[in-house]
Amino acid sequence: MTDRIRISVDAMGGDNGPRIVFHGASLALKERKNTSFVFHGREEELKPLLDEFPTLKPVSAIRHCDTVIAMDEKPSQALRKGRGNSSMWAALQSVKDGEADVCISGGNTGALMAMATMCLRPIDGISRPGIAAIWPTLRSDIIVLDVGATIGADAQQLVDFSILGAALARALFDDDQPTVGLLNVGTEEVKGLDSIKDAARLLSAASGAGFRYHGFVEGDDIGKGTVDVVVTEGFVGNIALKTAEGTARQVGTYVRNALTANLMSRVGALFAGQALDALRRKLDPRTVNGGVFLGLNGIVIKSHGGTDEIGYKSALGLAYEMARSHLIDKIDEGLRRFPVKPAEPEQTQPEAKPA
């Protein structure tokens, strides 16, 4: 990788069209000037937009693609329709071919995961990729995964997510031994599904091999920042993510309504202006936009499809940091350091029959 970070962009993915993509890229370039972009999509739509952002033109290229994957297409349909000739596939192919260091798309999540898995292939030793979210907490940012890729993960997949999440934490937080916790319905060892308890035994045995296993954590531990990496399966993780985003918007609305309710509250808001601005930024989901696809032979970032240019700038910033920190190398290192094999299912003893 050179000093310049090259980002491959599915410019047609998302709910709001490619203008948001170009506007977000222009904002990202102001903060990280050693960035270049390859935009994939319909040239007749992209070229006029690039002309509107002259600072982007010297560091950008457009690759024409006729096919666009719709947000409501099933992954299997998207693969048949878009493999090889869609903007989403082409953006991934640029990473595989070495033209770019990282791929970003705001398109259909299921289609992007299916195409990324087929195009870039999972890393040897990882059974299935996961999606990681950067999560703001009372302590600092943490990582939560999986937030939507794998529904009903088994013990080995939870272990894989722990390795992947720890590697991401080392890349982002510069911590050689980040703490990992398994999300559960309680912290007691006897609680939870068998898959979670089996994963806990494996992680306990491996603690110190690139991470420190904390144990079980509960839902409120996410907001507290109890551990650096919270591991769960995709069904629970996605619900937790959407709940947190909705709660942030709800609290923001409550605060805004309270501060404009009457003259005295508006006067108080003027005196507390700086503190309120800081709170507003903390509650803004756009500032932590972007999920990281982990476990592939290449870095893929999924932006929220409905975000605006501020959110897309945040996702591009995340893409930049993932490429700059050599995330794939850190994952490979984590796999080499992990010392244990999947646990064999425990044999249950037959119940004694009454005499």
Q: Could you tell me the pLDDT band of residue 178, with boundaries at 50, 70 and 90? A: very high
Closest CA to 64 of 110, 3, 18, 4: 18
pLDDT for the residue numbered 65: 94
Q: Which of 101-105, 126-130, 262-266, 284-288 has the highest mean pLDDT?
A: 101-105
Q: What is the mean pLDDT of residues 38-58?
A: 94
Does the pLDDT at position 345 exceed 50? no
pLDDT for the residue numbered 351: 45
- The mean pLDDT value of the chain amounts to 86
335 vs 293, residue with greater confidence: 293
* Distance, first Cα to last Cα, the chain: 72
Q: How far apart are CA 123 and CA 294, in angstroms?
A: 9
The count of C-alpha atoms lying within 13 angstroms of the C-alpha of 243, restricted to the half-sphere facing its C-beta, is: 11
Q: What is the mean pLDDT of residues 57-69?
A: 94
Count of Cβ atoms closer than 10 Å to residue 107 Cβ? 29
Q: Could you tell me the pLDDT band of residue 332, with boundaries at 50, 70 and 90? A: confident
Q: How far apart are CA 343 and CA 201, in angstroms?
A: 8
Pairing of strands 35-41, 142-145: unpaired
The count of C-alpha atoms lying within 13 angstroms of the C-alpha of 97, restricted to the half-sphere facing its C-beta, is: 10
pLDDT for the residue numbered 124: 85
Does the pLDDT at position 229 exceed 90? yes
Pairing of strands 299-302, 291-294: antiparallel
Of 50-64, 85-99, 271-285, the range with the lowest mean pLDDT is 271-285
pLDDT for the residue numbered 350: 44
Q: How far apart are CA 137 and CA 163, in angstroms?
A: 21
Q: Could you tell me the pLDDT band of residue 342, with boundaries at 50, 70 and 90? A: very low
Closest CA to 188 of 154, 227, 218: 218
Of 129-133, 152-156, 271-275, 290-294, the range with the lowest mean pLDDT is 271-275
Instruction: Estimate to the nearest angstrom the gap between the alpha carbon of 338 and the chain centroid.
Output: 23
Give me the DSSP letters along 241-297: HHHHHHHHHHHHHHHHHHHTSSHHHHHHHHHTHHHHHHHHHHT-GGGG--EEEESBS
Q: Could you tell me the pLDDT band of residue 353, with boundaries at 50, 70 and 90? A: very low
125 vs 347, residue with greater confidence: 125
pLDDT for the residue numbered 285: 66
Q: Could you tell me the pLDDT band of residue 224, with boundaries at 50, 70 and 90? A: very high
Q: How far apart are CA 297 and CA 332, in angstroms?
A: 10
Does the pLDDT at position 82 exceed 70? yes
Run of H or E residues at 102:
strand 102-105
pLDDT for the residue numbered 15: 85
Helix and strand counts by DSSP (H, E) for the chain = 13, 11
Does the pLDDT at position 207 exceed 80? yes
* Region of 194 on the Ramachandran plot (φ > 0 left; ψ -120 to 50 alpha; else beta): alpha
Cis, bond preceding 146 (omega within 30 deg of 0): yes
Q: What is the mean pLDDT of residues 45-49?
A: 94
Query: What CATH number is given for 132-290 in this structure?
Result: 3.40.718.10
| The CATH number fitting domain 1-121+296-339, selected from 3.40.718.10, 3.40.640.10, 2.60.40.1930, 3.40.50.720 | 3.40.718.10
Q: Could you tell me the pLDDT band of residue 271, with boundaries at 50, 70 and 90? A: low
pTM of the model: 0.83
Kindly state the percentage of the chain with pLDDT values over 70. Answer: 90
The answer to whether 197 and 189 have CB atoms below 8 angstroms apart is yes
Instruction: State the span(s) of the chain assigned CATH 3.40.718.10.
Output: 1-121+296-339, 132-290
Q: Could you tell me the pLDDT band of residue 62, with boundaries at 50, 70 and 90? A: very high
Kindly state the percentage of the chain with pLDDT values over 90. Answer: 51
Of 137-141, 190-194, 339-343, the range with the lowest mean pLDDT is 339-343
If you search the block for the tokens 């798309």, which residue do you land on? 105
